[in-house]
Amino acid sequence: MTYSPFPASTADRLDALARDVARLIERITDAALVARGLPEVVDWQAKSATAFHERATTWAGDVSGLACLAETVRFDTLRARDRAAFVESLSGRAVGR
Which DSSP letter does residue 38 get?
A: G
Evaluate if residue 8 carries a pLDDT over 90.
no
Residue 96 burial by Cβ neighbours in a 10 Å radius (0-12, 13-18, 19+): middle
Quick one: pLDDT band at residue 95, thresholds 50, 70, 90? low
Single pTM value for the model:
0.68
Which DSSP letter does residue 43 get?
A: -
Evaluate if residue 5 carries a pLDDT over 50.
no
* Distance, CA of 95 to CA of 82 (rounded, Å): 12
Most confident of 14-23, 46-55, 58-67: 14-23
Higher pLDDT, 68 or 48: 68
Evaluate if residue 73 carries a pLDDT over 50.
yes
